[in-house]
Amino acid sequence: MRPKEASSLPINSCGLVYLEKNLIPMKQFSYFCVTALLLFCYPLFAQNNTYTGTNAGNGSSGGAYNATYGYSAGDVVTGDYNSFFGAYAGLANTSGNYNTFIGYRAGDASVTASANTYVGYYAGNNSTAGSNTFLGYYSGFTNTTGTNNTYVGYHSGRSATGGNNTFIGYQTGNSSVGTGNVFLGYQAGYNESGSGKLYIDNSNTATPLIYGDFTTNQVGINAVPTGSYTLNIGGSLNLVTSGTAIYVNGVPYVGGASQWTTSGSNINFNLGVVSIGTTAAPAGYKLAIGGKAVAEEITVKLQSNWPDYVFENAYTLLPLADLKCYIELHKHLPDVPAAREVTENGIAVGEMSAILLKKIEELTLHLIKQQEEIDALRKKINETK
């Protein structure tokens, strides 16, 4: 009896063929099983893929939810959730997942990398790493193993090789090799070879408008930070808005309601104490100098009365006999500080000048009185002759 055609063989719910004894030779049955298995399993290996263009997805086997459009786009893709648009886009990608490559040869050399977005002619062409975003003509072109990069702009990060970088602008970080850099502006950070740097400028200068170092937490404005200074300024600082100020330890230091105010070219200190060469300013003093001071002229303007009152008629002049007793007892003139007080507290120049003038005026009054007594005695002697 001739065997039945395979197409007419009965198949149960388990996909098994009911065999009639001696109807089908074993070789033909094996071919039938392989064919049935492939037809049954194909949807499990390659589901919901769309390949459009000559050789697009040509060598692809398996993978799901991929969309490729263009000559040889995603030629050998086996990964999932990829979108390749443009001639040779994602050409070498095999098991990479979640990639979006748009542009001629975008992500051309990416093989197993995942989670990349490359948009532009040759964008990410040589990249084999993951988690990168390159937008622009030749952006991230030579990046191979760098990850977590974001390059936006023509030739942005074109020859960069590091990771964790953010470059935005025409040729930003074009030849940089470091990691963790942030470059913003036309050619910003073009030749920077270090890591953890911030550039904001519209040129490839090494001294940008804004320079930062994330490692040392330093910032420079028209200057590269030096030493241990957190902020370096290569120029002048001007507070132009009324009420603005620079604060030190929570206190306005310059501008606003600070202790420093300006009047024309003058700077005034309104609050607190100024100490020079010392931090131990005695209580009650506005200026403390731990050392010598020199000046062409010093004017002391007292807020108390100048001792012209000594010449008033109501002023009581201490008799010389009483002055003698005071000196013998205290070893210094009245109102004049003792040597011990001067050693401990120093002297107030303005106050001491007033005291000394008072003593000179008192001495002058004593001399005048003595001269009057001498003149009277002379007159009396002359009258007795």
**What percentage of the chain has pLDDT greater than the value 70?**
83
Single pTM value for the model:
0.63
| Cα–Cα distances in angstroms (integers) from residue 99 to residues 132, 247, 292, 369, in the given order | 10, 50, 74, 112
Residue with tokens 């920077």: 192
Grade residue 257 by pLDDT with cuts at 50, 70 and 90.
low
- DSSP string computed for 28-48: HHHHHHHHHHHHHHHHHHSBS
Looking at the predicted structure, is the pLDDT value of residue 266 above 60?
A: yes
pLDDT in tens, 280-298: 787 888 888 888 888 888 8
What type of residue is 204? N
Report the sign of the C-alpha dihedral through residues 350, 356, 360, 363, in that order: positive
Judged by average pLDDT, the poorest of 177-181, 220-224, 306-310 is 306-310
The residue-averaged pLDDT of 12-31 equals 49
Ranked by mean pLDDT, which of 186-190, 245-249, 331-335 comes out on top?
A: 186-190
Give the span between the Cα atoms of 190 and 198, in whole angstroms. 12
Q: Which helix (H) or strand (E) holds 345?
A: helix 339-345
pLDDT of residue 255: 61
What mean pLDDT is reported for the chain? 85
Q: Please, which contacts does 145-148 make with residues 24 or more away whose CB atoms are closer than 8 Å?
A: 146/179
- DSSP string computed for 259-283: SEEEETTEEEE-SS-EEES-S-PPT
pLDDT of residue 46: 53
55: buried, middle or exposed (CB in 10 Å: 19+, 13-18, 0-12)? middle
**What percentage of the chain has pLDDT greater than the value 90?**
57
pLDDT of residue 273: 82
pLDDT in tens, 336-371: 999 999 998 888 888 888 899 999 999 999 999 999
Grade residue 374 by pLDDT with cuts at 50, 70 and 90.
very high
pLDDT of residue 29: 55
pLDDT of residue 39: 45
pLDDT of residue 244: 72
| Cα–Cα distances in angstroms (integers) from residue 115 to residues 97, 140, 184, in the given order | 6, 15, 24
